[in-house]
Homo-oligomer: A and B are copies of this chain.
Amino acid sequence: MTCLEDYPPEVRAEVGQVRQSVCDLHAELPRWGLVVWTAGNVSQRLHSADLFVIKPSGVRYDELTPESMVVCDLDGNLVDGTRSPSSDTAAHAYVYRHMPKVYGVVHTHSTYATAWAARGEEIPCVLTMMGDEFGGPVPVGPFAIIGDDSIGRGIVETLRASRSPAVLMCNHGPFTVGKDATAAVKAAVMVEEVARTVHMAMQLGDPLPIPQDRIDALYDRYTNVYGQH
């Protein structure tokens, strides 16, 4: 087994930074109401080595420390850490192996996104903020359970066929990706927000559709112009 001491100093330095960042980002999950108890996890891939940092399994959010974060290789094997990695580690690892631009992955069971997932129903793109963030509907991935690569494969195949950084895994909940863990957490926050808002809209009637060319214009502007440069 490889261990972290075998890696060069710049990798160990990046591990330290990413442990801090991933630990801090876990606090965003309860803050935005995305998780209860221990049910959600954030990971970030390193740039200096084929490793990623993820939450330990079954530990509560207010007990997490940077040191308790676990380091794994891209096959999901434990490289450093005194605790077992999250039980969703294999799915995170599969995503990193097959989506080379993804450096952050988040999984939650946030209420409204999971409700859409329980019906196996994609969230239609009826809000301008969905055009901005998701570039279309939020897609549904297959039913799959822990034990082999079927969750990871379902995430990757669904995301590759979509502009969305979020997928609703059937009967399970959302997985989101991004260029780092912060972007994946933002996508997890936004997918719950649009899941909730479109849910409310549909309870009392039919939302108005947004024409595809308007969705394209929103997505293009947001992706290329928005934010600080």
A residues in contact (CB < 8 Å) with B? 32, 36-37, 39, 56-59, 83-84, 87, 109, 111-112, 114-116, 118-121, 126-129, 131, 143, 145-147, 170-173, 186, 189-190, 192-193, 196-208, 210, 214, 217-218, 221, 225-229
**Given A119-B201, A190-B37, A210-B171: A114 in contact with B143 (beta carbons within 8 A):** no
Give the contacting residue for A114; candidates B37, B83, B197; CB below 8 A: B197
28 A-B Cβ contacts within 8 A? A36-B189, A37-B186, A37-B190, A39-B129, A39-B193, A56-B228, A58-B226, A58-B228, A59-B228, A84-B229, A87-B226, A109-B193, A111-B193, A111-B200, A114-B197, A114-B201, A115-B200, A115-B203, A116-B201, A126-B171, A128-B172, A129-B173, A143-B214, A145-B217, A146-B221, A147-B217, A171-B210, A203-B203
How many copies of this chain does one complex carry? 4
Question: Contact: B205 with A119, CB < 8 Å?
Answer: yes
Give the contacting residue for A227; candidates B57, B115, B147, B217; CB below 8 A: B57
